[in-house]
Amino acid sequence: MHVALLYAALTGVATAIGGMLALRTRDRLHLILGLAAGLMLGLVGFDLLPSVFALDHRSLGHVPVVALCFIGGFVLLHLVERMFATHEPSESEYESHSQHHHAGAGTATGIAMIGHVFLDGVGIGAAFHVSTGLGLAVFVALMVHAFNDGLNTVTFLIRAHRWTTRARWLLAVDFLSRVGGAAFGSYFLLNSSFVAIYLALFSGFVIYIATSHILPEAHSNHPSRWTVVMTIIGVLVMWGVVALGA
């Protein structure tokens, strides 16, 4: 499972690149966000959900357990995001209305992001437990999303006046969290039922991020036509990744 650690490390590098870019530009790179959303939607629809339904056939109240976990993952991340604003766009259209809240929340947001990226790493490790194809599909989607994570986290800290030498270490901790999460997913999620449950939760996380944050951010303050095109391209790319990995 060393390959999972390598791919998790690469997503950590993407986060660092996004963070460095945030120090030099305020361009929201809406086309990349549109592509990321498409990749994530394709990942869940074409690969993650079919895999978890094939791995676990248990039901609870006449509903598949993995379906309950999928919805649970969506709701759980929504609750966490409401508490810590971990995925708020750095140029949100409601920024001016919530500035007083965020002024004291920059560090808490950075810490919450560490937990989020650890779970991303676990997702990569768990996916490689199922198949190399699924692991690669998860990696492709998270690679672009990790870039956006770094962009948003650093910009958020700067805006909250918390961008200090100490805060810069968050990017290094982000990297270690991703690799640590991948190690956990690779070496501790050995039971196929646990893998299925976690990947179902992870699917809920991914859908929430794509639909509640990345797509709205991609379309705010930018023409939507090419963003939509990039989203469609992202879905098609993930279809190709899944087909090649089958």
In a domain, 32, yes or no: no
Q: What is the pLDDT of residue 100?
A: 41
Overall number of domains in the chain: 1
Say which residues have a Cβ less than 8 Å from residue 174's Cβ, sequence separation at least 6: 12, 15, 16, 113, 114, 117, 149, 150, 153
Task: Report the sign of the C-alpha dihedral through residues 38, 42, 48, 53, in that order.
Answer: positive
158 domain residue, yes or no: yes
Residue 29 lies in a domain: no
Range of the domain at 125: 2-23+40-245
pLDDT beyond 80 at 192: no
In a domain, 33, yes or no: no
Query: What would the pLDDT profile of 97-149 be if each residue is shown by its tens digit?
Result: 444 444 444 555 556 667 777 878 888 888 888 888 888 888 888 887 777 66
Residue 28: inside a domain, yes or no?
no
Query: Residue 207: CB partners within 8 Å, gap ≥ 6?
Result: 40, 41, 44, 70, 74
pLDDT of residue 24: 60
The answer to whether residue 31 sits within a structural domain is no
pTM (predicted TM-score)? 0.72
Q: Which residues pair with residue 60 across a beta bridge?
A: 63
Contacts of 213 (CB under 8 A, 6+ apart): 81, 87, 88, 89
In this structure, what token pair is assigned to residue 172? 């290094």
Q: Is residue 140 assigned to a domain? A: yes
**Alpha helices (runs of H) in 131-224, residue ranges in sequence order:** 132-159, 165-187, 192-209, 215-219
Residue 196 in domain? yes
